């Protein structure tokens, strides 16, 4: 038989109102009481009915994950991370895919508020990078948290989880330089993405700091796709002086670059090192496996959910201070077989 809030109150030896306050993460509940109620919630496997909670009062206990991203693995990781944060705070999650090119995005978000009664929304690129979307959400009064590439968090940042792509790209480029590479190509994702810009600038900074000339012919514009990696790498490898290493803006591009190199009969990593970014399944499905930068998407997404729920409950300043969210996330270097050999001229 499913446990009720009355069962939890009786088990914990507190009032129903106290249980309700704990479940809703309301302030003014002593820690000892909070912990005691949580023990009872877990012992009885109690799950509040969020639909009933929303209908019973003016508050909504649903948040939305709005995305426009063809990378299914990325979306699933984000979804699972957000779900974990929602589960901890007894919120529900609405998954809402839509196109960032929609002519009437405001109607799309209005429907989320009016029909789905969401209390807030989590945005990933490209939505999180669009100033027009931020302005619209402020006008609609919808709480939101953006997951976005960036280095310099603003003081009292209440709306963004930053990923320091610049630092990770710098580290990846230095890894190649330390292997002896000086002719390093760069395959861009779409330049409309801030992540591409940050990764390209990190690559440039590492070259400059190590006294290596930046050659424009080694930077190829493209998209975040396997085919773009094939096409970009083919261009680089056709240069009179071809690069000895390639930095691809993500693992999918890097897998395409590796495929193009194989077609040219180039040995990886003996004749050409290749690195990617994000540590997606692509990085582990190639032979050799790809050196990359690990991006903890589920942890990032859970932090975004926790911050959004804290905003909805009016405790975001306290949450940011406690979790030190202003530091953001910096993807970490993962060295694998595509770049584990010292290059010799």
Tell me how far apart the alpha carbons of residues 121 and 328 are, in angstroms, rounded to a whole number. Answer: 19
Task: Identify the weakest region by mean pLDDT among 65-74, 153-162, 215-224.
Answer: 153-162
C-alpha closest to that of 247 among 266, 270, 272: 272
pLDDT at 1: 65
Question: Which residues of the chain does CATH 3.40.50.2300 include?
Answer: 55-164+296-327, 165-294+332-339
Question: Which residues of the chain does CATH 1.10.260.40 include?
Answer: 5-48
Average pLDDT value for residue range 38-45? 83
Greatest mean pLDDT range, 57-61, 172-176, 322-326: 172-176
Give the model's confidence band at 24: pLDDT under 50 very low, under 70 low, under 90 confident, else very high.
low
Element (H, E) at 86: helix 72-89
- Reported as a single tens digit per residue, the pLDDT across 118-147 is 889 999 998 899 888 888 888 878 889 999
Inter-residue long-range contacts of 149-155, CB under 8 Å, 24+ positions, other chains counted:
149/125, 149/193, 149/194, 149/195, 149/197, 149/198, 150/194, 150/198, 150/328, 151/198, 153/326, 153/327, 153/328, 155/326
Average pLDDT value for residue range 294-303? 93
Domain 165-294+332-339 grouped into CATH 3.40.50.2300: yes
Neighbours of 142 (CB within 10 A): 17
Give the model's confidence band at 54: pLDDT under 50 very low, under 70 low, under 90 confident, else very high.
very low
pLDDT at 58: 47
CATH architecture of 5-48: Orthogonal Bundle (1.10)
Domain 55-164+296-327 grouped into CATH 3.60.20.10: no
Tell me how far apart the alpha carbons of residues 149 and 230 are, in angstroms, rounded to a whole number. Answer: 25
- Grouping H, G, I as helix, E, B as strand and the rest as coil, residue 51 is helix
Tell me how far apart the alpha carbons of residues 261 and 255 are, in angstroms, rounded to a whole number. Answer: 10
C-alpha closest to that of 66 among 41, 33, 100, 90: 100
Neighbours of 182 (CB within 10 A): 16
Q: Is residue 291 within 8 Å of 275, Cβ to Cβ?
A: yes
- Reported as a single tens digit per residue, the pLDDT across 78-124 is 999 999 999 888 898 988 888 887 777 777 777 777 677 788 999 99
Average pLDDT value for residue range 249-273? 96
Q: Is residue 218 within 8 Å of 246, Cβ to Cβ?
A: no
Q: Which two tokens stand for residue 104?
A: 């009437």
Give the model's confidence band at 323: pLDDT under 50 very low, under 70 low, under 90 confident, else very high.
low
Strands (E), the chain: 62-67, 92-97, 120-123, 143-149, 160-163, 184-187, 219-220, 245-248, 273-275, 292-294, 332-334
Q: Is the pLDDT of residue 57 over 50?
A: no
Q: What is the mean pLDDT of the chain?
A: 86
Average pLDDT value for residue range 218-232? 96
Q: Is the pLDDT of residue 254 over 60?
A: yes
Task: Identify the weakest region by mean pLDDT among 213-227, 301-315, 316-330.
Answer: 316-330
- For residues 324 and 39, the model is more confident at 39
Neighbours of 154 (CB within 10 A): 11
């Amino acid at each position: 038989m499913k446990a009720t809030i009355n069962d939890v109150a009786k088990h914990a030896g507190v009032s129903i109102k106290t249980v309700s306050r704990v479940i809703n993460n309301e302030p003014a509940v002593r820690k000892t009481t909070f912990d005691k109620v949580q023990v009872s919630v877990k012992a009885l496997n109690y799950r509040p009915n969020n639909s009933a909670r929303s209908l019973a009062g003016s508050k909504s206990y649903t948040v939305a994950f709005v995305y426009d991203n063809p990378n299914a693995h990325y979306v699933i990781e984000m979804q699972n991370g957000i779900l974990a944060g929602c589960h901890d705070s007894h919120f529900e999650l609405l998954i809402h895919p839509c196109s960032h090119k929609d002519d009437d995005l405001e109607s799309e978000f209005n429907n989320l508020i009016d029909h789905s009664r969401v209390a807030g929304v989590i945005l990933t690129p490209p939505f999180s990078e669009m100033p027009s979307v931020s302005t619209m959400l402020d006008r609609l009064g919808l709480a939101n948290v953006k997951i976005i590439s960036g280095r310099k968090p603003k003081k009292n940042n209440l709306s963004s989880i930053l990923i320091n792509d610049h630092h990770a790209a710098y580290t990846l480029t230095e890894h190649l330089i330390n292997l002896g590479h000086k002719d390093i190509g760069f395959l861009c994702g779409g330049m409309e993405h801030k992540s591409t810009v940050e990764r390209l600038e990190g690559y440039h900074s590492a070259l400059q700091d190590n006294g290596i000339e930046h050659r424009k012919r080694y930077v190829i514009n493209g998209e975040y796709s396997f085919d773009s990696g094939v096409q970009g790498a083919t261009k680089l490898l056709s240069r009179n002086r071809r690069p000895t290493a390639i930095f691809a803006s993500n693992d999918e591009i890097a897998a395409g670059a590796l495929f193009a190199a194989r077609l040219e009969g180039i040995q990886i990593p003996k004749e050409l090192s290749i690195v990617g970014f994000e540590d997606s399944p692509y990085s582990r499905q190639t032979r050799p496996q790809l050196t990359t930068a690990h991006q903890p998407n589920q942890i990032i997404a859970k932090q975004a959910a926790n911050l959004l729920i804290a905003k909805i409950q009016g405790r975001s300043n306290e949450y940011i201070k406690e979790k030190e969210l202003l530091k953001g996330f910096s993807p970490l270097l993962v060295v694998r077989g595509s770049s584990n050999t010292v290059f010799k001229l």
